[in-house]
Every structure is written in C-alpha cells, then in structure tokens.
Amino acid sequence: MTMASNKTQCFKCNKEKITYSCEGCSQRFCFVDLAEHKQLLHDELHIITNGYNEFKQRINEQKQNPQNHPLIKQIDQWEVNSIEQIQLKAQDYREVVIKSSQRFINDIEMKFNDLSEQIKQFHKENDFNEINLNYLTNQLRKITEELNDPSNISIQQNSQTFMNEISIISVIKSKSNKWKQNGITVAGGNGEGQEINQLDHPLAIFIDKKKNIFIADFFNHRIVEWKHNAKEGQIIADSNEQGNRMNQLNYPTDMIVDQQNHSIIIADFKNSRVVQWVGEKQQILIQNIVCYGLAMDKHGFLYVSDWKKNEVKRWKMGEYNNEGIVVAGGNEKGHQLNQLNCPTFMFVDEDQSVYVSDCNNHRVMKWRKDAKEGTIVAGGNGQGRNLNQLFSPQGIFVHDLGQIYVADNGNHRIMRWCEEKEEGEVIVGGNGKGNESNQLNSPTGLSFDDDGNLYVADWLNHRIQKFEIVL
C-alpha cells in the first residue's frame, strides 16, 4: 500500500478522505475500510491455505492407501460381478452336463429294455437260433461300449479369451437337435431340365459316408450321383431315356444303394417292377408290382410298398420268384388301422417294424413284425397344417430314440414326431411354398449324413437342399 498526498473518494464508503491504494485491486480505501479490506484478504488466504492443506492430506492418504483409488473400487466391483457371472455360467454348464448325462442314460436304458423284452420273448416262445443269439450278444456289447465311452461328453476350453471360456461337447444325439433354417443347394437348383447340372422333380435321395448324393431323378427317368461339393451330377442308371427295356427306367421313385457290391436296387414305378443295376448289368427282381418305396432290413429282407394294392410286402434275399409276404396293409384301400391308402416311402427298424408314409390317409403308420394292424405314430387327424396333422407325407426316417422325421409334402415342411406324442414340430421349412433358402416346395425324400446334417429332395424346386445341424 502507498499513502496518497491528497483526499479522494473511498471505494467502500464513497466519502472524501485520505485514501490508500490497494495494489491488488487498484482501488482506493480510507483507513477504516482499508483495514476491513485487508481482513477480507486474510480470510480468503486462510480459505486457500485450508484448501491446500486438504489437498496435501489427500495426497498423503492416497500415498499411504493406494487401494482406496476409485478405479480399484471399480475393479473390485468388476470382480464381484465377474464371479457372479462365472458362478451362474458354471451352474448352467452343470445343468447341461446333468441333463445330457441323464438323457444318455435314459437312451441306453431304453435300448437295454428293448433287448430285455426280446430275450423274454425268446424264452417265452422258445424259438431262437444262433443268429438271434449273435444279435443279442452284439447289441449288448454295443450298448456296453456306449455306456463305458467317456468321450460321449467332454469339456472344450477357449484359451483365446482373457478368462478361459468352456463349452460342453456332447456327442449324444439329442431329441432336441436343431438345424439351420436356411438351406444350401447341393444338387440341381439350375431350373427344371435334363442337363447334368439339372434335376427334374427329384423324388428320393441317399447320402453315403463320403457325403455323395444319390438321387431318383423322377421326370428324367434316371438315377444320378452328385459327388460331394460337385457342380454337376453323373448318370449311374439309365442313360437311354424313358422306356421299358432292361437298360431303361420309367419314372423311378426310390432306390437302395449297396456301394460295397456296386449295386443299386430301383423302384421302376411306371414299369411296375423292381430292378437291380450292378455296373452295366441289369436284372428284374420283382415284376407286376406298382412299386413306390423300397427298404432293406439288417437281415437282407427287401420291403416294397405297392401303391396300387395298398400294401407293403417283404422278400427274402434271392427269393424274389415267390409272391412275398404282406407285412402292412393288404386289406384293400381304407383308413382303418389294418388298411393303407397309397403307401409311399418306408423305414424298417432293428426289430423289423415297418414305418409307412400312408400318403392319402395323411399319416405315418407303424406295423410291428407279424402284426395284423398298425398304429398311428404321426398325423392321423385328417389333412391339414396344424402340428398334429400331415398333408400327403412322403419321405421318412426313424431315429433309434423314437424320433420320426417326415417330409410333409403338402405343407412344404419337414417335421419331427416323437412316438406316443400327439403332435410334431417343424424342424425346417414351414414358411409357405417357395424357392428361398428357408422355403421348400412339396418336399419328397429326406436323408441324413453321418454328421447329422439333413438333406431334402425339394420336388418342385428341382434341387436338393442341405440343412446343417446346429451343434
């Protein structure tokens, strides 16, 4: 502060007095107001000093207690949350393992119970031979190996993430298997035609262990093979156009492929015969039968569905000269449990039970060996698109867990039914008829490869669609 030599107005009291200048704010104060002004400055300095002291204290506290850093608290919270998530995830995985293990045990138990029933039947009827005993021994060995196989379920870790993630790997084929809803065209798909990259109303299909596809190319009167990932097929039966000569076919509907013997048995529908092609040689196995579907059981018996007579007959291998044995239907056309109405495709299980797509009755029937009538295992509630109905069923596959897969032709979908259930579920298709990747147009044949991928003969789209299994 510097003293003034004359009187001036005080900044605070606005009176003419001897004043003194404040270098800080450049204002002039009288003596009294200057003292008050100084006190205010001292008070502000005190406040600032306290702030500095508090800041120093905070520095010292953080130096002495670095664990109190706010980020440490965030990390602590992250740890708690992460542990909770891991615990929840671990519980989920435990439940998956328990459910998978229980399902596996139940499946093994079902197979064991079936074998037990067969053994009881053999004891009761006292009618068995070495073939039966060998079969029982082999089946017991198989289910024992399944039960003892530790690889049925395992843990796979993902070491690429910060915290190792795990996933449960189960090779047990579950009843809840699902497939991608968008199919991949693996044969045909180039429009209706007879070129080697085209199909014309493909009806039945068969997938071998190398994922090669055999196709009954109905309107082209030929059987074609599409190698895995091939862009075109190759004709393996009938390159001589439509006809009734030995080396010709007339609307083939189904086939049985025996790659070991390079043999194909074909349902030659319009020629009313079952023929066998072995390389370039042909022979007629069965004549005068309006054959549609074919099947063969583990004993080598051949089953043929007769579209016109509404029955399924069985022949012993090499004994095709006789009339065959009726194993389903054969009681004229009708909808009673002992009748069929235009049977199409079939499946024969380990017990020689015959599953038949009863097309015009809109149902799938199961006929046990030597039964006088069948039981309805899918559909049977009239033509329709509800989950308890079918519309002209075609291709059929039966899994040993009691799952029945059906090409629901008129509803443009593939359905899965579990035996003794009142309704099925749509596994692919069911989005209206069309040619998009998630649509089908009157599907007929169906098959699976060894990885569980589903293949469908998409009849009116002239293509074969592959639907990959979701693991």
Condensed to tens digits (0 to 9), the pLDDT of residues 208-266 reads 989 999 999 999 999 999 999 999 999 999 867 889 999 999 999 999 998 777 899 99
Distance (Å, rounded) from C-alpha 223 to C-alpha 217? 6
8 A C-beta contact, residue 222 and residue 230: no
Q: What is the pLDDT of residue 18?
A: 87
Would you say 183 and 118 are in contact if contact means Cβ atoms under 8 Å apart?
A: no
Q: What is the pLDDT of residue 109?
A: 79
- Indicate if the alpha-carbon torsion angle 181, 186, 188, 190 is positive or negative: positive
360-383 as b/e: b if 16+ CB within 10 A? bbbbbbbbbeeeeebeebbbbeee
- CA 156 from chain centre, in angstroms, equals 20
The reply to whether the predicted model has a pTM over 0.75 is: no
Encoded amino acid at 136, one letter: L
Between 453 and 50, the higher pLDDT residue: 453
Helix axes 130-148, 70-125, angle to 10 degrees: 170
State the Rg of the chain over Cα. Answer: 41
- Res. 172: pLDDT tops 80: no
CATH topology of domain 179-470: Neuraminidase (2.120.10)
Residue range 271-320, pLDDT digits in tens? 999 999 998 899 999 999 999 999 999 888 999 999 999 999 999 988 88
Question: What confidence tier does 121 reach under pLDDT thresholds 50, 70, 90?
Answer: confident
3-state secondary structure of 422: coil
pLDDT at 173 over 70: no
Longest dimension (CA), the chain: 146
Average pLDDT, the chain: 87
**pLDDT at site 419:** 77
Write down the domain spans for the chain. 8-61, 85-167, 179-470
Residue 452 tokens, joined? 């569980």
Higher-pLDDT residue of 143 and 407 is 407
Calculate mean pLDDT across residues 351-368.
96
What is the model's pLDDT at position 151? Answer: 60
